[in-house]
Structure 1
Amino acid sequence: MAGTSWVQSKCSIIEGEAMALIEAMKEMTRR
């Protein structure tokens, strides 16, 4: 079960990075 929690945490990190990228792109298009 430890493996699944590791995968979930890794996915959440990637998801957070993707969200940050999307937000940065939105800021760029706004200018």
Structure 2
Amino acid sequence: WYGVLFVRQGFYQGGVFRFTVSLPENFPDGGCP
């Protein structure tokens, strides 16, 4: 999954932060990393 955060207020105002969420094939049945 991919996501983007647009910050409107605060120290990072105007910032655009892109991120990726990676889940293992056996999620949620696998152990903790």
Question: Do these two structures clear the TM 0.5 threshold for a shared fold by scoring above it?
Answer: no
Question: Which structure is larger by alpha-carbon Rg, 1 or 2?
Answer: 2
Q: TM-score, normalised by structure 1?
A: 0.19
Report which structure shows greater RCO (CA 8 Å, sep ≥6): 2
Relative to its length, the structure with more helix (as a share) is 1
TM-score, structure 2 length as denominator? 0.19
